[in-house]
Amino acid sequence: MKYMDKGIVAIHEALKKGEITSQELVEESLAKAHEIQDKTNAFVTILDDAKGLPVTDDLLSGIPYGVKDNYSTRGILSTGSSNTLKNYVPFFSATAVLNLEKKGAVPIGKTTLDEFGMGGTGTTAHTGIVHNPWDYDRMCAGSSSGSAASVAAGVYPYALGSDTGDSIRKPAAYCGIVGYKPTYGMISRYGLFPFASSLDHCGVLSRSVEDAAIVVDAMKGLDPKDQTTWDSTNIHLYENLKKDVKGTKLFYIKEICDINNYPNASEELIEHLKNFQATLKKCEELGMSVEGVSLDQKLLNALPSVYVVISCAEATSNMSNLTGFIFGPRGSGKNYEEMMKDYRTKGFSPLIKRRFIIGSYVLQKENQEKYFKNAQRVRRLIVDEMKKLFTKYDGLILPVGSGPAKLLDDPTDMVKEETTILEDHLQIGNFGGFPSITIPNGFVSDLPVGVNITGNCYQDELVLNIAYALESSMNYKNQIAKEVTK
Ligand code: GLN
């Protein structure tokens, strides 16, 4: 019998009953990891030396999981999927990983990402492209591509991700699983390679809302090593998961969801938006109210540029420590400057270099006011608007992206002008640090699509209540990727 395609509680019960041992789970998980690696390239490293651990009352004890390769793991290669750190073995572990270690969880592999989390395609890792287990010709989205692929394929019940713009929640949608980014600072980011510190979140990819709740309960907590963390001891996601959602008030943004705004809509986009409308009906059947709210189109249009300016500026600054002297392979040259230039020129992919150029430009003294500070101001306007709406509503519900996973080799499938906001609105969750979760929302062209729920800061329990109720009304819980027949 197989166990790695089950949920955490079922696996825990099987362990407790002695139906299976932790060591056997590790073997099953490693075998599956190797089986999918050739087709998906989900892993930078598979931890073949992993051993089973004692089973305690902790739900996560003895159970395998995956770690995105931008989390530092002591004594284990941690590359961030970048050539600049291709040989980097940290001497400490990220707090989130240590918190899971305390529960007796067993890491099985380090998963592939878009280099340093910068990207949304899963195509920029130094070890190559990540393929979607539903259809190997399609992308997983990114940047938590390997985590999404491996969880969807049934290597283990969950894997860690990070999310700066949508990097947990978009790949989750493309792979037919759950992706949850809790409120900013609920999980310590100590030991997570920083991308854009004011937007970066740790989180999880799993196959059910329940599993996401269990894992984040274990990962979260105040950490003196990350001053943005806050005391969440009063938040019990798993314990409070099943609260009744009757009377809960949801809203969606009309400009994003209205099919009339997409005159050139593809069949897939039309289907995707129909699925979304059907889900709104389900929300009403569950006793929630749903209203369409109109947002200033100027604010919506500003989303992608605000994101680009802030994230590139912060990334440029954060990654100035990558010189090739302290970490990574040393560059060659006659002096410090030459060596650093050689290391950075050879090490970073073109996408990252472009982002550093944007970041440096907007941070230049003469440009700061016009670009960087203005982006901050518009970010504030967007967050204030959302906070105002969250005084009236409990949650924002929106479709994820413009349809199912895109083909890897179809240039016409890149983000289109018309659907930009549909592709980028999840960034709102990062601008405000809002708790945000994607769950599967059925199929379009036999491929999974997702729906997202975002709530006000610190309202993680409520957001998960909504997601849990909705998930229970649909049939996609614990969904494992089935290769589509063409
Ligand atoms: N796709 C976005 C980007 O390329 C988000 C990445 C992320 O969330 N880490 O920046």
CATH of the domain at 481: 3.90.1300.10
Query: Could you give the strand order of the β-sheet that contains 178-181, starting from the edge strand earlier in sequence?
Result: 43-46, 106-111, 64-68, 158-163, 201-206, 178-181, 436-444, 447-455, 395-399, 249-253, 289-293
Of the candidates 173, 242, 278, 168, the one whose C-alpha atom is nearest the C-alpha of residue 464 is 242
Q: How far, in Å, are 160, 309, 322 from residue 413 at the CA level?
A: 28, 24, 34
Q: Decide: 271 in ligand 1 pocket, CB within 6 A.
A: no
Q: Which regions of the chain are under pLDDT 50?
A: 413
Q: How far, in Å, are 1, 21, 46, 82, 408 from residue 26 at the CA level?
A: 14, 9, 12, 28, 32
Going by C-beta distance under 8 Å and a sequence separation of 6 or more, which residues neighbour residue 6? 14, 157, 478
Degrees (nearest 5) of the Cα angle 304, 427, 300?
A: 50
Q: Strand pairing partners for 250?
A: 290, 395
Q: Is 68 a catalytic residue?
A: yes
The burial class, CB within 10 Å (0-12 / 13-18 / 19+), for 329 is middle
User: Given the DSSP bridges, would you call strands 178-181 and 201-206 parallel, antiparallel or unpaired?
Assistant: antiparallel
Give Cα 23 distance to the centre of its chain.
29
Q: Decide: 427 in ligand 1 pocket, CB within 6 A.
A: no
For residue 373, give the DSSP letter.
Answer: I
Q: Decide: 166 in ligand 1 pocket, CB within 6 A.
A: yes
Q: Decide: 143 in ligand 1 pocket, CB within 6 A.
A: yes
Q: What is the pLDDT of residues 179-236, one digit of tens each?
A: 999 999 999 999 999 999 999 999 999 999 999 999 999 999 999 999 999 999 999 9
- Ligand 1 pocket: which of 113, 130, 167, 436 to mutate (most atoms <8 Å of CB)? 167
- Measured CA to CA, the distance from residue 230 to residue 433 in angstroms comes to 13
Structural domains of the chain, count: 1
Q: Is 143 a catalytic residue?
A: yes
User: Given the DSSP bridges, would you call strands 64-68 and 106-111 parallel, antiparallel or unpaired?
Assistant: parallel
Q: Is 445 a catalytic residue?
A: no
- Ligand 1 pocket: which of 69, 81, 111, 114 to mutate (most atoms <8 Å of CB)? 114
Q: For residue 20, how far is its CA from the centre of ligand 1 (angstroms)?
A: 39
pTM higher than 0.85: yes
- Measured CA to CA, the distance from residue 178 to residue 41 in angstroms comes to 20
Of the candidates 213, 245, 275, the one whose C-alpha atom is nearest the C-alpha of residue 393 is 245
Which candidate in 6, 32, 68, 181 is catalytic?
68
Going by C-beta distance under 8 Å and a sequence separation of 6 or more, which residues neighbour residue 222? 188, 229, 230, 231, 232
Q: Which domain holds residue 283?
A: 1-486
**Closest residue by CA, ligand 1 atom 4:** 119
**Closest residue by CA, ligand 1 atom 1:** 120
Q: Decide: 432 in ligand 1 pocket, CB within 6 A.
A: no
The letter for the amino acid at 89 is V
